[in-house]
Copies of this chain bind each other. A is one copy, B any other.
Amino acid sequence: MRRVTIKDIAKIAGVSYATVSRALSGSPEISEETRIRIVEICRREGYRANTLARSLICNKTNVIGLIIPEVTNPYYAEIAFGIERSARERGYNVMLCNSGYEDAHVDELFDFLVGHQVDGIILANSRNEACDWASRYLRTIPTVLLGDAVTGGTPEADRLGTVSIDNRAGGRMGTEYLQRLGHTEILYAGVRPNSITHQLRAQGYRDAMEHAGLCAKIAENPGGSSSIEHGYELGKQLFAQTRDYTAIFAATDTLALGLMQAAEECGVSIPGELSLLGFDNISYSALPRITLSTIDQRKALLADTAVRILLDTIAQPEQQQYHKCLVPPTLIERHSCRAR
Protein backbone atom coordinates (compact mmCIF):
# COMPACT_ATOMS: atom_id res chain seq x y z
CA MET A 1 0.00 0.00 0.00
CA ARG A 2 2.71 2.44 -1.05
CA ARG A 3 1.39 5.96 -1.05
CA VAL A 4 1.76 7.95 -4.23
CA THR A 5 4.41 10.67 -3.98
CA ILE A 6 5.18 13.85 -5.79
CA LYS A 7 7.61 11.99 -8.00
CA ASP A 8 4.94 9.66 -9.27
CA ILE A 9 2.83 12.61 -10.23
CA ALA A 10 5.77 14.33 -11.90
CA LYS A 11 6.50 11.26 -13.95
CA ILE A 12 2.89 10.89 -15.07
CA ALA A 13 2.62 14.55 -15.93
CA GLY A 14 6.00 14.54 -17.61
CA VAL A 15 7.30 17.48 -15.62
CA SER A 16 9.83 17.92 -12.84
CA TYR A 17 8.54 17.59 -9.35
CA ALA A 18 9.30 21.20 -8.61
CA THR A 19 6.55 21.99 -11.07
CA VAL A 20 4.13 19.74 -9.29
CA SER A 21 5.00 21.41 -6.01
CA ARG A 22 4.30 24.81 -7.55
CA ALA A 23 1.03 23.67 -9.02
CA LEU A 24 -0.23 22.64 -5.60
CA SER A 25 1.15 25.43 -3.48
CA GLY A 26 -0.68 28.06 -5.46
CA SER A 27 2.51 29.63 -6.70
CA PRO A 28 1.99 32.33 -9.35
CA GLU A 29 4.99 31.29 -11.40
CA ILE A 30 3.30 28.54 -13.35
CA SER A 31 0.95 28.56 -16.31
CA GLU A 32 -2.69 28.07 -15.57
CA GLU A 33 -2.77 25.35 -18.19
CA THR A 34 -0.22 23.04 -16.60
CA ARG A 35 -1.57 23.73 -13.15
CA ILE A 36 -5.00 22.49 -14.09
CA ARG A 37 -3.56 19.47 -15.78
CA ILE A 38 -1.44 18.58 -12.77
CA VAL A 39 -4.13 19.19 -10.20
CA GLU A 40 -6.38 16.88 -12.17
CA ILE A 41 -3.75 14.16 -12.19
CA CYS A 42 -3.27 14.50 -8.45
CA ARG A 43 -6.97 14.14 -7.88
CA ARG A 44 -7.17 11.12 -10.12
CA GLU A 45 -4.25 9.39 -8.46
CA GLY A 46 -5.40 10.28 -4.98
CA TYR A 47 -2.23 12.16 -4.19
CA ARG A 48 -1.88 13.96 -0.87
CA ALA A 49 1.24 15.91 -0.10
CA ASN A 50 3.23 14.34 2.71
CA THR A 51 2.74 16.72 5.58
CA LEU A 52 5.70 15.28 7.44
CA ALA A 53 8.16 16.08 4.70
CA ARG A 54 6.72 19.53 4.32
CA SER A 55 6.89 20.26 8.02
CA LEU A 56 10.45 19.06 8.11
CA ILE A 57 11.47 21.73 5.65
CA CYS A 58 9.24 24.54 6.82
CA ASN A 59 10.07 23.83 10.43
CA LYS A 60 6.39 24.26 11.20
CA THR A 61 3.67 21.68 11.58
CA ASN A 62 0.58 23.78 12.11
CA VAL A 63 -0.32 21.41 14.87
CA ILE A 64 -0.76 22.32 18.50
CA GLY A 65 -0.78 19.83 21.31
CA LEU A 66 -3.52 19.71 23.90
CA ILE A 67 -3.09 17.88 27.16
CA ILE A 68 -6.16 17.27 29.31
CA PRO A 69 -6.75 14.80 32.12
CA GLU A 70 -9.51 12.81 30.40
CA VAL A 71 -11.91 13.37 27.52
CA THR A 72 -14.56 11.47 29.35
CA ASN A 73 -14.69 14.28 31.88
CA PRO A 74 -17.45 16.44 30.40
CA TYR A 75 -15.68 19.63 31.36
CA TYR A 76 -12.55 18.72 29.46
CA ALA A 77 -14.55 17.35 26.56
CA GLU A 78 -16.02 20.78 26.06
CA ILE A 79 -12.64 22.43 26.44
CA ALA A 80 -11.14 20.07 23.89
CA PHE A 81 -13.96 20.70 21.49
CA GLY A 82 -13.65 24.44 21.81
CA ILE A 83 -9.91 24.37 21.35
CA GLU A 84 -10.10 22.22 18.28
CA ARG A 85 -12.69 24.49 16.81
CA SER A 86 -10.74 27.71 17.42
CA ALA A 87 -7.51 26.18 16.27
CA ARG A 88 -9.03 24.90 13.07
CA GLU A 89 -10.51 28.28 12.32
CA ARG A 90 -7.01 29.66 12.45
CA GLY A 91 -5.47 26.97 10.31
CA TYR A 92 -4.15 24.76 13.07
CA ASN A 93 -4.90 21.20 13.98
CA VAL A 94 -4.75 19.77 17.42
CA MET A 95 -3.22 16.64 18.80
CA LEU A 96 -5.24 15.63 21.83
CA CYS A 97 -3.66 13.72 24.71
CA ASN A 98 -5.18 12.35 27.89
CA SER A 99 -2.75 12.58 30.76
CA GLY A 100 -4.89 10.99 33.41
CA TYR A 101 -4.29 12.49 36.79
CA GLU A 102 -0.63 11.73 37.27
CA ASP A 103 2.32 14.05 37.03
CA ALA A 104 4.58 11.65 35.19
CA HIS A 105 2.21 11.28 32.28
CA VAL A 106 2.13 15.00 31.67
CA ASP A 107 5.89 15.02 31.35
CA GLU A 108 5.83 12.12 28.93
CA LEU A 109 3.23 13.83 26.84
CA PHE A 110 5.20 17.04 26.65
CA ASP A 111 8.12 15.00 25.38
CA PHE A 112 5.88 13.22 22.95
CA LEU A 113 4.43 16.42 21.58
CA VAL A 114 7.79 18.16 21.34
CA GLY A 115 9.08 15.12 19.48
CA HIS A 116 6.20 15.49 17.07
CA GLN A 117 7.26 19.06 16.50
CA VAL A 118 3.98 20.63 17.49
CA ASP A 119 4.15 24.39 17.24
CA GLY A 120 2.84 24.91 20.75
CA ILE A 121 1.06 23.23 23.64
CA ILE A 122 -2.00 23.99 25.69
CA LEU A 123 -2.15 22.30 29.06
CA ALA A 124 -5.66 22.25 30.45
CA ASN A 125 -5.53 21.17 34.05
CA SER A 126 -6.81 22.66 37.24
CA ARG A 127 -4.34 21.15 39.66
CA ASN A 128 -1.96 23.55 41.33
CA GLU A 129 1.06 21.70 40.01
CA ALA A 130 -0.01 22.26 36.42
CA CYS A 131 1.63 25.64 36.47
CA ASP A 132 5.02 24.14 37.24
CA TRP A 133 4.61 21.32 34.78
CA ALA A 134 3.95 23.76 32.00
CA SER A 135 6.68 26.22 32.87
CA ARG A 136 9.25 23.46 32.92
CA TYR A 137 9.06 23.37 29.14
CA LEU A 138 8.71 27.05 28.54
CA ARG A 139 12.21 27.37 27.10
CA THR A 140 11.56 24.51 24.72
CA ILE A 141 8.14 25.28 23.34
CA PRO A 142 5.44 27.93 23.51
CA THR A 143 2.96 26.84 26.10
CA VAL A 144 -0.17 28.18 27.70
CA LEU A 145 -1.94 26.93 30.73
CA LEU A 146 -5.70 26.73 30.82
CA GLY A 147 -6.23 26.78 34.54
CA ASP A 148 -5.45 28.90 37.54
CA ALA A 149 -2.17 30.73 37.58
CA VAL A 150 -0.25 30.06 40.75
CA THR A 151 1.70 33.16 41.62
CA GLY A 152 4.79 33.10 43.72
CA GLY A 153 6.13 29.92 42.20
CA THR A 154 9.25 29.79 40.10
CA PRO A 155 10.13 32.96 38.19
CA GLU A 156 9.65 30.86 35.07
CA ALA A 157 6.05 30.28 36.01
CA ASP A 158 5.34 33.97 36.07
CA ARG A 159 6.12 34.17 32.40
CA LEU A 160 3.71 31.40 31.55
CA GLY A 161 0.69 32.41 29.51
CA THR A 162 -2.39 31.58 31.47
CA VAL A 163 -6.12 31.74 30.97
CA SER A 164 -8.77 30.76 33.45
CA ILE A 165 -12.19 31.65 34.61
CA ASP A 166 -12.33 34.29 37.31
CA ASN A 167 -13.06 31.89 40.12
CA ARG A 168 -13.21 34.49 42.80
CA ALA A 169 -15.72 36.55 40.86
CA GLY A 170 -17.70 33.36 40.32
CA GLY A 171 -17.77 32.65 44.03
CA ARG A 172 -18.99 36.14 44.65
CA MET A 173 -21.55 36.01 41.86
CA GLY A 174 -23.07 32.76 43.08
CA THR A 175 -23.26 33.90 46.66
CA GLU A 176 -24.90 37.16 45.73
CA TYR A 177 -27.46 35.28 43.68
CA LEU A 178 -28.37 33.17 46.67
CA GLN A 179 -28.56 36.29 48.79
CA ARG A 180 -30.87 37.96 46.29
CA LEU A 181 -33.08 34.92 46.62
CA GLY A 182 -33.37 35.77 50.31
CA HIS A 183 -30.92 33.30 51.75
CA THR A 184 -28.86 34.52 54.66
CA GLU A 185 -27.54 31.23 55.91
CA ILE A 186 -25.46 29.81 53.11
CA LEU A 187 -23.07 26.91 53.38
CA TYR A 188 -20.14 26.74 51.02
CA ALA A 189 -19.48 23.04 50.60
CA GLY A 190 -16.78 20.86 49.18
CA VAL A 191 -13.67 22.99 49.37
CA ARG A 192 -10.42 21.16 48.86
CA PRO A 193 -8.03 23.19 50.96
CA ASN A 194 -4.96 22.66 48.82
CA SER A 195 -6.61 23.62 45.54
CA ILE A 196 -6.02 27.17 44.38
CA THR A 197 -9.17 27.02 42.30
CA HIS A 198 -11.20 26.11 45.34
CA GLN A 199 -9.50 28.72 47.47
CA LEU A 200 -10.41 31.42 44.99
CA ARG A 201 -14.01 30.36 44.77
CA ALA A 202 -14.30 30.16 48.53
CA GLN A 203 -12.69 33.55 48.83
CA GLY A 204 -15.30 35.01 46.50
CA TYR A 205 -17.95 33.46 48.69
CA ARG A 206 -16.39 34.99 51.80
CA ASP A 207 -16.15 38.38 50.10
CA ALA A 208 -19.85 38.36 49.35
CA MET A 209 -20.88 37.12 52.77
CA GLU A 210 -18.76 39.64 54.53
CA HIS A 211 -19.98 42.40 52.29
CA ALA A 212 -23.54 41.48 53.21
CA GLY A 213 -22.66 41.25 56.88
CA LEU A 214 -23.39 37.55 56.96
CA CYS A 215 -21.53 34.72 58.55
CA ALA A 216 -19.49 32.44 56.29
CA LYS A 217 -19.82 28.70 56.81
CA ILE A 218 -17.52 26.36 55.00
CA ALA A 219 -17.59 22.59 54.79
CA GLU A 220 -14.46 21.04 53.44
CA ASN A 221 -14.34 18.02 51.19
CA PRO A 222 -12.39 15.32 52.99
CA GLY A 223 -12.16 13.27 49.77
CA GLY A 224 -9.23 13.61 47.45
CA SER A 225 -11.15 14.81 44.41
CA SER A 226 -14.32 16.65 43.48
CA SER A 227 -16.16 13.59 42.26
CA ILE A 228 -19.86 12.83 42.47
CA GLU A 229 -19.00 10.11 44.96
CA HIS A 230 -17.22 12.44 47.30
CA GLY A 231 -20.09 14.87 47.04
CA TYR A 232 -22.39 12.06 48.00
CA GLU A 233 -20.31 11.16 51.03
CA LEU A 234 -20.15 14.75 52.11
CA GLY A 235 -23.91 15.02 51.68
CA LYS A 236 -24.56 11.96 53.78
CA GLN A 237 -22.54 13.52 56.55
CA LEU A 238 -24.14 16.92 56.23
CA PHE A 239 -27.72 15.70 56.09
CA ALA A 240 -27.31 13.49 59.12
CA GLN A 241 -26.90 16.63 61.22
CA THR A 242 -29.37 19.43 61.78
CA ARG A 243 -28.95 22.21 59.29
CA ASP A 244 -28.32 25.82 60.14
CA TYR A 245 -28.45 26.95 56.52
CA THR A 246 -31.06 27.16 53.78
CA ALA A 247 -28.78 27.01 50.78
CA ILE A 248 -25.63 25.21 49.71
CA PHE A 249 -23.17 26.62 47.25
CA ALA A 250 -21.14 23.63 46.06
CA ALA A 251 -17.56 24.06 44.95
CA THR A 252 -18.20 22.13 41.74
CA ASP A 253 -21.12 20.73 39.77
CA THR A 254 -20.01 17.16 40.31
CA LEU A 255 -19.96 17.69 44.03
CA ALA A 256 -23.42 19.23 43.75
CA LEU A 257 -24.69 16.15 41.94
CA GLY A 258 -23.45 13.96 44.76
CA LEU A 259 -25.06 16.24 47.29
CA MET A 260 -28.26 16.04 45.31
CA GLN A 261 -28.30 12.29 45.51
CA ALA A 262 -27.55 12.29 49.22
CA ALA A 263 -30.32 14.83 49.74
CA GLU A 264 -32.78 12.65 47.91
CA GLU A 265 -31.88 9.64 50.00
CA CYS A 266 -32.05 11.63 53.22
CA GLY A 267 -35.42 13.02 52.26
CA VAL A 268 -34.41 16.64 52.00
CA SER A 269 -36.06 18.13 48.95
CA ILE A 270 -34.24 20.40 46.52
CA PRO A 271 -35.12 23.17 46.00
CA GLY A 272 -38.07 22.79 48.39
CA GLU A 273 -36.23 22.70 51.68
CA LEU A 274 -32.79 23.48 50.44
CA SER A 275 -31.39 25.47 47.54
CA LEU A 276 -28.36 24.10 45.76
CA LEU A 277 -26.02 25.99 43.48
CA GLY A 278 -23.14 24.47 41.52
CA PHE A 279 -20.03 25.76 39.80
CA ASP A 280 -18.75 24.86 36.30
CA ASN A 281 -21.91 24.22 34.31
CA ILE A 282 -20.91 20.85 32.93
CA SER A 283 -23.30 19.20 30.54
CA TYR A 284 -24.67 16.94 33.27
CA SER A 285 -26.20 19.90 35.04
CA ALA A 286 -28.57 20.74 32.23
CA LEU A 287 -30.07 17.26 32.11
CA PRO A 288 -33.75 16.66 32.84
CA ARG A 289 -34.41 15.92 36.51
CA ILE A 290 -31.13 17.54 37.45
CA THR A 291 -31.45 21.11 36.18
CA LEU A 292 -28.82 22.43 38.51
CA SER A 293 -28.41 26.18 38.77
CA THR A 294 -24.75 26.96 38.47
CA ILE A 295 -21.91 29.29 37.54
CA ASP A 296 -20.87 28.85 33.93
CA GLN A 297 -17.20 28.51 33.07
CA ARG A 298 -17.75 29.64 29.47
CA LYS A 299 -15.59 26.94 28.08
CA ALA A 300 -15.82 28.06 24.48
CA LEU A 301 -14.49 31.46 25.40
CA LEU A 302 -11.77 30.01 27.60
CA ALA A 303 -10.71 27.70 24.80
CA ASP A 304 -10.70 30.42 22.21
CA THR A 305 -8.66 32.71 24.41
CA ALA A 306 -6.12 30.01 25.13
CA VAL A 307 -5.70 29.32 21.43
CA ARG A 308 -5.33 32.99 20.63
CA ILE A 309 -2.68 33.55 23.25
CA LEU A 310 -0.79 30.46 22.17
CA LEU A 311 -0.78 31.42 18.51
CA ASP A 312 0.36 34.91 19.41
CA THR A 313 3.23 33.42 21.33
CA ILE A 314 4.11 31.11 18.47
CA ALA A 315 4.16 34.06 16.10
CA GLN A 316 6.39 36.15 18.37
CA PRO A 317 8.22 33.90 20.76
CA GLU A 318 10.75 36.54 21.86
CA GLN A 319 8.05 38.92 22.89
CA GLN A 320 7.36 36.77 25.95
CA GLN A 321 3.97 38.30 26.39
CA TYR A 322 3.00 38.47 30.01
CA HIS A 323 -0.48 37.07 29.67
CA LYS A 324 -2.60 36.24 32.65
CA CYS A 325 -6.11 36.23 31.27
CA LEU A 326 -9.19 36.05 33.49
CA VAL A 327 -12.54 35.31 31.90
CA PRO A 328 -15.65 36.52 33.72
CA PRO A 329 -18.12 33.75 34.59
CA THR A 330 -21.84 33.81 34.11
CA LEU A 331 -24.84 32.72 36.14
CA ILE A 332 -27.08 29.94 34.85
CA GLU A 333 -30.46 29.79 36.52
CA ARG A 334 -32.19 26.47 36.45
CA HIS A 335 -34.35 24.80 39.04
CA SER A 336 -32.24 23.91 42.04
CA CYS A 337 -32.53 27.24 43.81
CA ARG A 338 -35.60 28.90 45.19
CA ALA A 339 -36.47 32.17 46.88
CA ARG A 340 -37.33 31.90 50.54
Residue numbers of A with Cβ under 8 A of B are: 1, 3, 46, 48-53, 55-56, 61, 70-72, 74, 77-78, 80-81, 84, 93, 95-96, 98, 111-112, 114-117, 139-142, 228, 232, 257-258, 260-261, 264, 283-284, 287-290, 317
- For A287, give its contact among B49, B71, B287 (CB under 8 Å): B287
Interchain residue pairs with CB less than 8 A apart (24):
A1-B139, A1-B140, A51-B115, A51-B116, A51-B117, A52-B55, A52-B61, A52-B116, A70-B81, A71-B84, A71-B96, A72-B283, A74-B74, A74-B283, A77-B77, A81-B98, A96-B96, A257-B288, A260-B288, A260-B289, A261-B288, A264-B289, A283-B284, A288-B290
Chain B residue numbers with a CB within 8 Å of A61 are 52
| C-alpha gap A112/B61 in the complex (Å) | 13
Query: Given B116, B140, B290, which contacts A289 in the complex, CB threshold below 8 Å?
Result: B290
Shortest Cβ distance from residue A296 to the other chain B in the assembled complex, whole angstroms: 15
A70–B80 alpha-carbon span in the complex (Å): 10
A77 in complex: contacting residue of B71, B117, B317, CB < 8 Å: B71
- CB distance A80 to B84 under 8 Å? no
CB distance from A324 to the nearest CB of B (A): 21
Question: Which of A71, A283, A284 has the largest number of chain B CB atoms within 10 A?
Answer: A71
Residues of chain B within 8 A (CB-CB) of A51 are: 115-117
Contact among B77, B98, B115, B142 for A1, CB-based, below 8 A: B142
A36–B31 CA distance with the chains assembled, in angstroms? 56
Give the complex CA separation of A98 and B85 in angstroms. 9
B50 touches A117 (CB 8 A): yes
Measured CB to CB, the nearest residue on chain B to A286 is B228
Q: Which residue of B lies closest to A78 (CB)?
A: B72
Within the complex, the shortest CB–CB distance from A91 to chain B, in Å, comes to 12
Chain B residues lying within 8 Å of A228, measured Cβ to Cβ, are 287-288
Q: Are A114 and B3 in contact (CB under 8 A)?
A: yes
CB-defined contacts of A77 to chain B, threshold 8 Å: 71-72, 74, 77
Q: Are B53 and A317 neighbours in the complex by a CB distance under 8 Å?
A: no
The answer to whether B52 touches A117 (Cβ under 8 A) is yes
